[in-house]
Chains A and B, each alone.
Chain A
Amino acid sequence: MNTIAGTLTADAGEIDLADRNVVKKPVSYRARWMSRVFQDPKMGTAGDLSVAENLVLAQSHTHTASLRRYKKADRWNRYQELLKTLNMGLEDRLETQVKYLSGGQRQALSLLMATLSKPKLLLLDEHTAALDPKTSHDVMEITQKIVTREGLTTMMITHKMSDALKYGNRLIMVQDGQIKLDVSGEEKQNLKSEDLVNLFQD
């Protein structure tokens, strides 16, 4: 996942993103077509900036050095509408610094931010691993809702078998750098958690 995002240089091979070879391009270039939600809720948001300012940063991954003023009333209203859909009480906290939010709120915000620019590829890097079971479930539900609503191509890493089985339409299992299993569609639907555990033990 780090190689796809660009934080790790590929030793060999090619990466094509939106019909462009990006294997030698930096993170900020790939960000035009790609968004990422990190495992650590603190990584995906700027803690000293407000909720609204974070959303501004996420909304457009180009023109980041523009000299236009970023604060606009209609934009703020739109953010409020979007935050309402998260059901996390964030809609009244547009001006709150993100560092005062809870881990779950921060991760839900990261998720909204990552999808705001309508990326061609959304990377979810164990994005619920640092949350408690209840919040983790809520964030997964929000993820499912946004991804289906926006029709986003999404790649999620998870260590939770139940999530791997429940969500998505293709499952790839990797062990020691090798692909152990690659199933999609109906075959994936019929897969059971015991099957996966057995495969890991082989």
Chain B
Amino acid sequence: MLISSLGQGLLWVPLVIGVFITFRILDIPDLTTEGSFPFGAAITISLMLHGQSTFVATIAGFIAGCLAGIITGILDTKLRIPSLLAGILTMTGLYSVNMHIMGKSNIPLLDQKVLTSYLPGNLDPDIQTIIAGLIIVSIVVALLYSLFKTRLGLSLMATGNNKAMSSANGIKTDRMIIFGYMISNGLIALSGSLIAQSNGYADIGMGIGTIVIGLASVLVGEIFLRGRSIIVRLLAMVFGAIIYRLLLTVAMGLGFPPDDLKILSAVILVIVICVPIIQNRIKTKRQLKQYLSQLAEGENYEQRDEIRNISSQKLTKGILSGNRE
């Protein structure tokens, strides 16, 4: 069980990093996720059924996701549609596109070679998934790490952080946002393609709830691994994806039927949003108490009130406002 959720978790990493790029770097909750995930799966599986190799089909899935991201990006920046709505529009449109590609709502692979088939056959399938997952995750993390070390990556981060300042410094912010959407959805579609290969089929409904899974994994990762440097943040996403799978596996082990997994995902998301806020509150209270007991020796009531005011202001800052000022 543990081993299999580790493997599955690794396959979800590109999705989590994709959601991280829009949600944390660009500060946009992007619902295109729910459409680009099955889009990647549909493209990959149907290409494989048409005789393409798994490598070509997987890369095609990634590129398809990039295109979906570009569309949302253009809707958002050039047509000035609010980002949430832009994502919903692309997601809805992609439903029809996916149906056309697949022809029916579920297409299974027959005896095509998937990525794991290229690994030694005497290995356990779970180990195969882990090896394939590790290779892909390493490539993705390495590429993104070097991207964020370039001027392009810096411009991308600046755009998400302060758009007015970025354009005043010559950054073409619209292009940066479209670029961010593109990379993000490419990775999400890559995840869809990998999951479909692992499951052995593509399904029209496989995108439902993926944004919640993505967001929850991002937040779980940030709870377990905190840091400002980009490599730590990317690794946090890897851990987030794996830990989230483990949580779901544990829940399934407790006897939850698969149909209840969606509501469970939603509940997990609510919890991981609240945990850091509560953690913060407890920490502030403890510090305040310490400070007050020091002050009590000097009996300085005026200052005490002042400090109480300051600390209560700080409490309003929650995890979702992480990127904002």
Contact = CB atoms under 8 A, between A and B. Distances in A.
Contacts of B228: 97
Given A65-B151, A67-B151, A38 B164 contact: yes
Contacts of A97: 228
A35 interface: yes
Interface string A25-57: 011100110011010001111111100010011
A53 B325 contact: no
B162 A45 contact: yes
Contact of B165 (A43, A64, A66): A43
A69 B154 CA distance: 9
Interface in B160-205: 161-162, 164-173, 175-176, 179
Interface residues of A, number: 37
A69 B149 contact: yes
Interface string B310-325: 0000000000000101
Given A27-B168, A31-B167, A64 B162 contact: no
Chain A CB within 10 A, most for which of B155, B167, B173: B167
Contacts of B154: 49, 53, 56-57, 70
Contacts of B170: 28, 31-32, 60-62, 64
B152 A66 contact: yes
Given A35-B168, A47-B162, A62-B170, A99 B149 contact: no
Interface in B254-278: none
B45 interface: no
Contacts of B176: 65
A57 B167 contact: no
Contacts of A27: 167-168
Interface residues of B, number: 26
Chain B CB within 10 A, most for which of A27, A47, A68: A27
Contact of A28 (B161, B173, B179, B323): B173
A47 B325 contact: yes
B279 interface: no
Nearest to A48: B161
Nearest to A60: B170
B157 interface: yes
Contacts, number: 97
A29 to B, nearest CB: 8
A63 interface: yes
B26 to A, nearest CB: 12
A112 interface: no
A134 interface: no
A61 B151 CA distance: 11
Given A27-B168, A47-B325, A71-B149, A64 B161 contact: no
Nearest to A65: B152
A67 B143 CA distance: 12
Nearest to A43: B164
A69 B325 contact: no
Given A61-B170, A64-B171, A49 B158 contact: yes
A48 B160 CA distance: 10
Interface in A53-100: 53, 56-58, 60-71, 97, 99
A183 B191 CA distance: 66
A44 B165 CA distance: 5
A64 B155 contact: yes
A171 interface: no
A35 B170 CA distance: 9
Interface string B137-165: 00000000000011110110110011011
Interface of A: 5, 7, 26-28, 31-32, 35-36, 38, 42-49, 53, 56-58, 60-71, 97, 99, 113
Given A65-B155, A66-B151, A69-B151, 12 more contacts: A31-B168, A38-B165, A45-B162, A57-B169, A58-B169, A62-B170, A64-B170, A64-B171, A65-B151, A65-B152, A65-B172, A68-B151
User: What are the 6 tightest A-B residue pairs by CB atom distance, in nearest-first order?
Assistant: A61-B170, A31-B170, A27-B167, A66-B151, A46-B161, A46-B162
Interface of B: 149-152, 154-155, 157-158, 161-162, 164-173, 175-176, 179, 228, 323, 325
